[in-house]
Chains A and B, each alone.
Chain A
């Protein structure tokens, strides 16, 4: 059974694809309940298949990279073929489990959460499409297929953010997400073209038996050696240029600064979507891509330094903003940004000689997916009960929603990094990478971010569950249905246990020097988390005078943080005041006056000409005859005069 599922791994992405077509085209118009049921069941089957695959794959002693299935897709020319296939390696198998688990739980949760919505069937259709795209992306064996599914997840994300398309905010958010990620993908695409062009040249010299865009080709040591020898006319390494372009795509998808602006706005989508796409799976695609191409990045260390710097900056930047936001989903969104930055800088600190950062990033991706999905689904449960996103309109939900309360608390402890919850283990690995690699800045920065994370997560926890109900709606809140609570409980169990998965043995790219819990990292890490948590408890569990005093004391700085450091306003300025006025408006003028004017001129001339010509059409037979006669005489005279006939 286990070997069979590895040989036929294509069925894992195929299941959501078939159910997407079946549900979207045939079942949805008939019966929305049935459509939702079929969609959820198919993801459930894919989940079981992924678990079987993972158990079998990780159970074996050797963990080779397997091309489980492959067909020729596009043949550009001899030696430049793009295959469509399924690649199984440790990170792909891990991601298959993450995606299908979270996707299934979100589907199940949505059965109740989206109940009564006019777009019930449509929602599940899109969720299926997303799951298919994400699974296709995870198992892609070459960059071209990655790009294909990369765009498909972008489309699914667009469709789901604008799910409530009557809301102008949702429409604006979906457009923003699409434009920002598309802009980033432009860089990714150029990077792929550069890699493909030079990869093709290298493939004629280096025999690997793979196609130029295959990951197996790109990460081949001989190919990397040949790549590293290439330089641009300016003297910079060609590979570093290509990989920075590829990282631009990854930064767009994973919402790294300064391309992070779309993710907080993407919270306009339904909460289960935020849990699935904008927390657990799609946004980690960028991290996954960097991990997938890690040997290539490691060949040009400067790109890894850039990744580490951007990762740490995003992490700190988002964590600071998250401390001041009032929308519970936005806090979670900034927290996602912050954690993605954590993963990125961990990857950036890894090297081929000491790849602990690689394992740590994947570990954090793995644990983060579960506890962040739990946080979002818990937030969804609260929003479902209170009908508001604002934490100041909640409060006192501890007694009214006990299951949501406990699971949310577990998630908060997990993300804060308290032993024995999952976040502790993965965060510990990342901090260990920074400490043992001698990156003091990253270690201290990581600790501060960890403290900050604990602070703002505890803040929304205390504000929503403790104290007194601050609005009528909050005082009349009820616990959600068991369909919503079951995924919460399941994820809570995962958030408590996934830390004990022997990840360092399962997913690694080389031998690890440091394994297990190191007290010199675990103690400061836990201390940072405890300080953050207790500070938050002191400021937010009772009265809020302290928090107001702190906010007042920070003055203008607090206002800047509250306004997300005016990054959105900066973009607004660039796009509206600079691009629109100095580029778009002249182009629009040119289009309206010159291009349209030319078209109109042609029309006017032809119309005048034809109205002049219609004068000749009298309907009088004898007039026509006269013209005919005159013509004949004229032609005769011409022939006689000039040709002498």
Chain B
């Protein structure tokens, strides 16, 4: 069963990575990052369940990761809202001012 779950996690990660590299909207990037994060959390829980069933470390770590991801999204979305107000779009290709 572990193998199928890891395949699922790998699929989710690859999907996220693909989205991260191809999407132009910042919101899309966010969603893709969340997919990658979730694939990681699934790995935590699956390995915990099948390799050390008497302990809960992996599950606790998963809950932590979810909470942190939520907080991070909060901050990220706030920045995005400010950026949108400033530039009237959230296109990531146009955001290259840090180059200079």
Task: Flag if A626 contacts B96 (CB, 8 Å).
Answer: no
A: contact size bracket: under 10
Interface of B is mostly: helix
B63 at the interface (CB under 8 A from A): no
B61 at the interface (CB under 8 A from A): no
Task: Flag if A619 contacts B92 (CB, 8 Å).
Answer: no
A543 at the interface (CB under 8 A from B): no
Task: Flag if B20 contacts A625 (CB, 8 Å).
Answer: yes
What CA separation (Å) do A310 and B2 show in the bound complex? 106
A556 at the interface (CB under 8 A from B): no
Task: Flag if A621 contacts B95 (CB, 8 Å).
Answer: yes
What CA separation (Å) do A43 and B2 show in the bound complex? 102
Pick from A617, A619, A626: contact of B21, CB under 8 Å: A626
Task: Flag if A622 contacts B99 (CB, 8 Å).
Answer: no
What CA separation (Å) do A629 and B14 show in the bound complex? 12
What CA separation (Å) do A315 and B22 show in the bound complex? 98
What CA separation (Å) do A629 and B17 show in the bound complex? 9
Residues of B within 8 A of A602 (CB): none
Residues of A within 8 A of B92 (CB): 621-622
B98 at the interface (CB under 8 A from A): yes
A118 at the interface (CB under 8 A from B): no
Task: Flag if B96 contacts A620 (CB, 8 Å).
Answer: yes
Task: Flag if A619 contacts B17 (CB, 8 Å).
Answer: no
Task: Flag if A619 contacts B99 (CB, 8 Å).
Answer: yes
Expressed in whole angstroms, the minimum distance between the Cβ of B7 and any Cβ of chain A is: 19
Task: Flag if B20 contacts A622 (CB, 8 Å).
Answer: yes
In the complex, the chain A residue whose C-beta lies closest to that of B26 is A621
Residues of B within 8 A of A625 (CB): 20-21
Task: Flag if B99 contacts A618 (CB, 8 Å).
Answer: yes
In the complex, the chain B residue whose C-beta lies closest to that of A622 is B21
Number of interface residues of B (CB under 8 A): 13
In the complex, the chain A residue whose C-beta lies closest to that of B21 is A622
Expressed in whole angstroms, the minimum distance between the Cβ of A130 and any Cβ of chain B is: 61
B51 at the interface (CB under 8 A from A): no
Residues of B within 8 A of A626 (CB): 21
Expressed in whole angstroms, the minimum distance between the Cβ of B32 and any Cβ of chain A is: 11
Residues of B within 8 A of A619 (CB): 95-100
Pick from B22, B29, B97, B99: contact of A617, CB under 8 Å: B99
Expressed in whole angstroms, the minimum distance between the Cβ of B91 and any Cβ of chain A is: 11
Expressed in whole angstroms, the minimum distance between the Cβ of B25 and any Cβ of chain A is: 12
Residues of A within 8 A of B22 (CB): 622
In the complex, the chain A residue whose C-beta lies closest to that of B99 is A619
Expressed in whole angstroms, the minimum distance between the Cβ of A494 and any Cβ of chain B is: 81
Residues of A within 8 A of B20 (CB): 622, 625
What CA separation (Å) do A618 and B97 show in the bound complex? 10
Which A566-619 residues sit within 8 Å CB-CB of chain B? 617-619
Which B84-100 residues sit within 8 Å CB-CB of chain A? 92-93, 95-100
What CA separation (Å) do A629 and B36 show in the bound complex? 14
* B-contact bits for A618-635, CB 8 A (1 contact / 0 none): 111110011001000000
What CA separation (Å) do A619 and B99 show in the bound complex? 4
What are 24 A-B contacts defined by CB distance under 8 Å?
A617-B99, A618-B96, A618-B99, A619-B95, A619-B96, A619-B97, A619-B98, A619-B99, A619-B100, A620-B93, A620-B96, A621-B29, A621-B92, A621-B95, A622-B20, A622-B21, A622-B22, A622-B92, A622-B93, A625-B20, A625-B21, A626-B21, A629-B17, A629-B21
Residues of A within 8 A of B (CB): 617-622, 625-626, 629
Interface pairs A-B: 6 shortest CB-CB: A619-B96, A619-B99, A621-B92, A622-B21, A617-B99, A620-B96
